[in-house]
Amino acid sequence: MVNWKDIGTEFNTELQQKWENEGFNYEEVSNWIKMGFKPDDFAFISFIKTFDYNHQNPLSSTEIENLRSMYQDNLVQESIDVVEDMAEQEAIRQSFVNDPFLKEVDIDEKNIDSGWLTDDNITYILNNHERIQEAIKQRTSIQVRTDIANIYFHYEKNKSEEEIRGFVKELNLDKFMYTFLPLRVNGNHWGLLIDCGGGNDFYYVSSSQEESNKTQVERVEGFLKKFNPQAKVEVISTPSRQSNSYDCGVYLIFYVWELMERYDWQLRLGRRYTAADCQRFRAEWKEKVGQEKWCKVDDKWEEIGSENGFKKGIVESLKSELEAKKRELAERMENEKNMKEIMDFRNEIITELQTTIENLQGQLLDRENDKEKRGLQQELFTLRERTNHDEKEIERLTRTIGKLELENKSLKEKVGSYRTEIRQKKETELVDKIKDIKIKLKVDEIELVEELFEAHREATENSNSYAQKQLAKFKQKLLQGGKVSEKEIEEICQKQAELIKLEKEVELSSQIEVNK
């Protein structure tokens, strides 16, 4: 049985557990510690492994420092993300707690409101909730449709696909980024279905427990696939669920409210609601809706399962849409009228400006008198004298440039000769040094030297990470032979690097000359 304290005295049970939680065993930890890492570097080394490094490939001190810097930056970013998420959650909570629409009411067992919100209640609240309506005005790519709630229920009872297909077409799902669709599921439960544009991708959330939610999603998805086989429904998770059998409608309003006010457009819920929050909300809206209509099942609700009830709902929906179209058309006609007046005024201004310009041009042509002509002649004489002076100056500068180009050419030839001489000297020194090393080595070790220098050239010229690893591996093997010191290897690599640098300078100089 291995004893982790053999790695280091710091390795108690707690530290051992932290390494094992990161996926390291005794042998791996021992090798990492031998490479110079600290006993508490378990998280850092786990980060290093994401870059395909392991204890079998030694890292240079520079590489370790670079990776540690990246790790620290990553920790800072993670901390920032956590703080931002916490701040967002707190802002959401405060937004709900401080909302003026949730007024304080006394809640006890005697005045608990346990009625089910009807479709009329849901529609009224969504259409008159100031925060929701304000969000809808600001985000014209989102629509909230309450008329499909009973359509879905009608299908469940009568299976009239053709009539429903025509109604779904009227929803214009492809014209909006999101369409919020409150649904009556299982007859007496409210859930929120969200279309993501086009009728293919949907999201669903309700305040019931997860198992019940799963059943609801299966039923809703089956309903949607009747009209679009590609339709799929995903669940939006929520940290809050109802703790009774009657608050599903209130939670639906809360979900719409929260999603509409998200600044990042993500379908994500983060607020936490309580039964007391629901009672405060109910007290507020019961007063606004009216006692006689609050949680009262009307004739429309009772008839909705029948053929006549369904058709009645369709007619009412179409009437409402027709009125909206009329208002939109009236606004458009008014806007077009205003635009025509603006364009007429613009055309008048343009005509006046054109006339003024033509008059000014005529006046300028009439003012060509003798005084102006003499002035122009004087300017012409001055320009001629300046031109003659400039031509002489250009001629002098041309001669100077020619002389400088000759001197520059001579200097370049001297520099080229000097570079060639230096490079030959460096090549001779490098070859001699390599010969001195090869004399000490066996045939296979000589091949290893050649592979090392080839890897070093590749790493130096192209900054290739794979060549860097190969270089380190060949270097380690040569050092293990004991016939070549690290100083000798570093010295030859340094000479090779200097030679490569000279070669690049010569090549760059040649390219510049060719481009000229």
Which DSSP string do the residues of 172-226 spell out, in sequence order?
A: -GGG-SEEEEEEEETTTEEEEEEE-SSSSEEEEEESS-HHHHHHHHHHHHHHHHT
Instruction: Strand 201-206: give its sheet, edge to edge.
Output: 142-144, 178-185, 189-195, 201-206, 232-235
Q: Is the pLDDT of residue 328 over 80?
A: no
Strands 178-185 and 232-235: unpaired
Question: What's residue 300's pLDDT?
Answer: 44
The chain-wide mean pLDDT, for the chain, equals 76
Q: Is the pLDDT of residue 432 over 50?
A: yes
Per-residue pLDDT tens over the stretch 49-97: 776 676 667 777 787 888 888 888 777 766 665 555 555 545 544 554 4
Per-domain residue ranges of the chain: 4-94, 109-305, 412-515
109-305: CATH class: alpha beta
* Contact (Cβ atoms closer than 8 angstroms) between residue 442 and residue 465: no
pLDDT band at residue 457 using 50, 70 and 90 as cut-offs: confident
Per-residue pLDDT tens over the stretch 372-392: 666 776 777 777 777 777 788
Strand, helix or coil at 266?
coil
Q: Is the pLDDT of residue 421 over 70?
A: yes
* Contact (Cβ atoms closer than 8 angstroms) between residue 242 and residue 207: yes
| Rounded distance between C-alpha atoms, residue 470 and residue 379, angstroms | 76
Question: What's residue 105's pLDDT?
Answer: 47
| Rounded distance between C-alpha atoms, residue 242 and residue 499, angstroms | 76
pTM: 0.42
User: Token match 């592979």: residue?
Assistant: 451
> Side chain identity at 393, as an amino acid letter?
E
User: Token match 């010969």: residue?
Assistant: 435
* Contact (Cβ atoms closer than 8 angstroms) between residue 209 and residue 273: no
Tell me what the mean pLDDT of segment 19-48 comes to: 86
Q: Is the pLDDT of residue 323 over 60?
A: yes
Continuous segment of H or E residues that includes residue 17: helix 13-21
Q: Which residue has the higher pLDDT, 107 or 116?
A: 116
Highest-confidence range of 11-20, 222-231, 314-323, 468-477, by mean pLDDT?
Answer: 11-20
Question: What's residue 314's pLDDT?
Answer: 43
| Rounded distance between C-alpha atoms, residue 238 and residue 88, angstroms | 16
- Using a pLDDT cut of 90, give the percent of the chain over it: 8
